[in-house]
Amino acid sequence: MEDGTSDVPGITADTTTARAPGPEAQDCDTRSRWECDAEVWQWDAREDCEVRQILDRIADKWSLLAIALLDRRVMRFTELKREIDGISQRMLSRTLRQLERDGIVERTVHPTVPPRVDYALTEMGRSLHATTKALVVWTEAHQERIAAARSAYDEREAALREL
Protein backbone atom coordinates (compact mmCIF):
# COMPACT_ATOMS: atom_id res chain seq x y z
CA MET A 1 0.00 0.00 0.00
CA GLU A 2 1.18 3.54 -0.64
CA ASP A 3 4.58 4.18 -2.14
CA GLY A 4 6.88 2.04 -0.06
CA THR A 5 5.73 -0.48 2.44
CA SER A 6 4.75 1.68 5.38
CA ASP A 7 1.31 0.94 6.74
CA VAL A 8 0.29 2.19 10.16
CA PRO A 9 3.43 1.33 12.10
CA GLY A 10 2.88 -0.03 15.58
CA ILE A 11 -0.80 0.35 16.17
CA THR A 12 -2.40 -2.92 15.22
CA ALA A 13 -0.50 -4.84 17.85
CA ASP A 14 -0.39 -4.29 21.60
CA THR A 15 -3.98 -3.18 22.01
CA THR A 16 -4.57 -5.58 24.81
CA THR A 17 -7.19 -4.38 27.20
CA ALA A 18 -5.84 -0.84 27.13
CA ARG A 19 -5.69 1.65 29.98
CA ALA A 20 -3.21 -0.28 32.12
CA PRO A 21 0.14 1.31 31.32
CA GLY A 22 2.26 -1.46 32.72
CA PRO A 23 5.21 -0.86 35.00
CA GLU A 24 7.26 1.80 33.19
CA ALA A 25 7.15 0.57 29.67
CA GLN A 26 9.74 2.96 28.26
CA ASP A 27 12.87 4.66 29.46
CA CYS A 28 12.79 8.00 31.24
CA ASP A 29 12.04 9.48 34.61
CA THR A 30 8.74 8.87 36.27
CA ARG A 31 5.98 11.32 35.53
CA SER A 32 2.24 11.11 35.38
CA ARG A 33 0.38 8.98 32.84
CA TRP A 34 -3.37 8.87 33.14
CA GLU A 35 -3.99 11.25 35.92
CA CYS A 36 -7.70 10.82 35.78
CA ASP A 37 -7.41 10.48 39.52
CA ALA A 38 -9.46 13.56 40.04
CA GLU A 39 -9.30 17.23 39.19
CA VAL A 40 -5.81 17.31 37.75
CA TRP A 41 -6.64 15.87 34.37
CA GLN A 42 -3.47 15.51 32.40
CA TRP A 43 -3.36 13.43 29.32
CA ASP A 44 -0.24 11.60 28.48
CA ALA A 45 2.47 13.70 26.94
CA ARG A 46 4.30 10.65 25.69
CA GLU A 47 4.72 9.87 22.05
CA ASP A 48 3.46 6.33 22.32
CA CYS A 49 0.23 7.51 23.88
CA GLU A 50 -2.68 6.00 22.00
CA VAL A 51 -4.93 8.97 22.57
CA ARG A 52 -2.50 11.15 20.72
CA GLN A 53 -2.44 8.81 17.78
CA ILE A 54 -6.20 8.71 17.58
CA LEU A 55 -6.39 12.47 17.82
CA ASP A 56 -3.89 12.79 15.02
CA ARG A 57 -6.18 10.69 12.86
CA ILE A 58 -9.27 12.63 13.73
CA ALA A 59 -7.64 15.96 13.26
CA ASP A 60 -6.14 15.38 9.87
CA LYS A 61 -6.88 17.49 6.87
CA TRP A 62 -10.10 15.83 5.78
CA SER A 63 -11.59 13.60 8.47
CA LEU A 64 -13.57 16.25 10.30
CA LEU A 65 -15.06 17.45 7.07
CA ALA A 66 -16.10 14.01 5.93
CA ILE A 67 -17.62 13.28 9.32
CA ALA A 68 -19.55 16.55 9.30
CA LEU A 69 -20.99 15.78 5.88
CA LEU A 70 -21.89 12.21 6.74
CA ASP A 71 -23.57 13.35 9.91
CA ARG A 72 -26.15 15.01 7.72
CA ARG A 73 -26.94 11.99 5.62
CA VAL A 74 -25.61 8.85 3.99
CA MET A 75 -23.47 9.67 1.01
CA ARG A 76 -21.75 7.97 -1.89
CA PHE A 77 -18.10 8.21 -2.81
CA THR A 78 -18.51 10.61 -5.68
CA GLU A 79 -20.96 12.73 -3.76
CA LEU A 80 -18.41 13.22 -1.03
CA LYS A 81 -15.76 13.98 -3.59
CA ARG A 82 -17.96 16.66 -5.08
CA GLU A 83 -18.82 18.23 -1.73
CA ILE A 84 -15.34 18.35 -0.27
CA ASP A 85 -13.60 21.08 -2.14
CA GLY A 86 -10.06 20.25 -3.11
CA ILE A 87 -9.83 16.64 -1.98
CA SER A 88 -8.20 14.17 -4.30
CA GLN A 89 -9.67 10.78 -5.01
CA ARG A 90 -6.69 9.24 -3.34
CA MET A 91 -7.12 11.15 -0.09
CA LEU A 92 -10.87 10.65 0.04
CA SER A 93 -10.35 6.95 -0.38
CA ARG A 94 -7.69 6.82 2.31
CA THR A 95 -9.64 9.01 4.71
CA LEU A 96 -12.76 6.92 4.39
CA ARG A 97 -10.86 3.70 4.86
CA GLN A 98 -9.19 5.01 8.00
CA LEU A 99 -12.52 6.11 9.38
CA GLU A 100 -14.02 2.76 8.53
CA ARG A 101 -11.17 0.94 10.20
CA ASP A 102 -11.63 3.04 13.33
CA GLY A 103 -15.32 2.22 13.43
CA ILE A 104 -16.39 5.78 12.72
CA VAL A 105 -17.84 5.14 9.30
CA GLU A 106 -19.71 2.20 7.83
CA ARG A 107 -19.27 1.25 4.21
CA THR A 108 -22.00 -0.55 2.34
CA VAL A 109 -21.47 -1.99 -1.11
CA HIS A 110 -24.53 -2.57 -3.24
CA PRO A 111 -23.77 -5.31 -5.77
CA THR A 112 -25.26 -3.44 -8.69
CA VAL A 113 -23.66 -2.40 -11.92
CA PRO A 114 -22.26 0.14 -11.94
CA PRO A 115 -21.35 -0.36 -8.28
CA ARG A 116 -22.93 1.80 -5.64
CA VAL A 117 -21.19 2.34 -2.31
CA ASP A 118 -22.77 4.15 0.60
CA TYR A 119 -20.94 5.69 3.49
CA ALA A 120 -22.66 6.38 6.77
CA LEU A 121 -21.62 7.32 10.26
CA THR A 122 -21.77 4.60 12.86
CA GLU A 123 -23.17 5.27 16.29
CA MET A 124 -19.65 6.02 17.46
CA GLY A 125 -19.20 8.32 14.48
CA ARG A 126 -22.25 10.35 15.43
CA SER A 127 -21.02 10.54 18.97
CA LEU A 128 -17.68 11.81 17.73
CA HIS A 129 -19.32 14.38 15.55
CA ALA A 130 -21.18 15.82 18.48
CA THR A 131 -17.85 16.52 20.08
CA THR A 132 -15.94 17.80 17.07
CA LYS A 133 -18.86 20.00 16.20
CA ALA A 134 -18.30 21.84 19.43
CA LEU A 135 -14.75 22.52 18.37
CA VAL A 136 -15.79 23.87 15.01
CA VAL A 137 -18.42 26.02 16.64
CA TRP A 138 -15.79 27.38 19.00
CA THR A 139 -13.49 28.18 16.09
CA GLU A 140 -16.27 29.83 14.19
CA ALA A 141 -17.26 31.88 17.21
CA HIS A 142 -13.69 33.02 17.81
CA GLN A 143 -12.38 33.51 14.33
CA GLU A 144 -12.73 37.24 14.46
CA ARG A 145 -10.87 37.50 17.73
CA ILE A 146 -8.17 35.22 16.36
CA ALA A 147 -7.87 37.31 13.24
CA ALA A 148 -7.59 40.40 15.41
CA ALA A 149 -4.94 38.78 17.59
CA ARG A 150 -2.97 37.89 14.50
CA SER A 151 -3.12 41.37 13.11
CA ALA A 152 -1.99 42.82 16.41
CA TYR A 153 0.85 40.35 16.65
CA ASP A 154 2.01 40.95 13.11
CA GLU A 155 1.92 44.67 13.62
CA ARG A 156 3.99 44.44 16.77
CA GLU A 157 6.49 42.26 14.94
CA ALA A 158 6.67 44.63 12.02
CA ALA A 159 7.21 47.54 14.36
CA LEU A 160 10.07 45.75 16.07
CA ARG A 161 11.78 45.03 12.82
CA GLU A 162 11.58 48.67 11.81
CA LEU A 163 13.75 49.79 14.68
By beta-carbon proximity to DNA, the closer residue of 23 and 86 is 86
77 lies in the site for DNA, by CB under 7 A: yes
Q: How far is CA 104 from the centre of its chain?
A: 11
In the complex, minimum distance from the CB of residue 112 to DNA, in angstroms, rounded to a whole number: 9
Note whether 115 binds its own copies by CB under 8 A. Answer: no
CB 125 within 8 A of CB 70: yes
Residues near DNA (CB under 7 A), total:
26
Task: State the sign of the Cα–Cα–Cα–Cα dihedral 14, 61, 1, 129.
Answer: positive
Say whether residue 151 binds its own copies (CB under 8 A): yes
Binding test (CB under 7 A) with DNA, winner from 65, 96, 105, 121 = 96
Confirm or reject binding of residue 47 to its own copies (CB under 8 A): yes
Q: Is 111 in the site for DNA (CB under 7 A)?
A: no
- Does position 78 bind its own copies by CB under 8 A? no
Q: Establish if 6 lies at the interface with DNA (CB under 7 A).
A: yes
Long-range contacts, 57-64 (Cβ 8 Å, 24+): 57/98, 57/102, 58/128, 58/132, 60/95, 61/91, 62/87, 62/91, 62/92, 62/95, 63/95, 63/98, 63/99, 64/132, 64/136
User: How far is residue 59 CA from its own chain's centroid?
Assistant: 3
Where on the chain is the footprint of DNA (CB under 7 A)?
A: 1-3, 6, 60-62, 76-79, 86-91, 93-94, 96-97, 107, 114-117
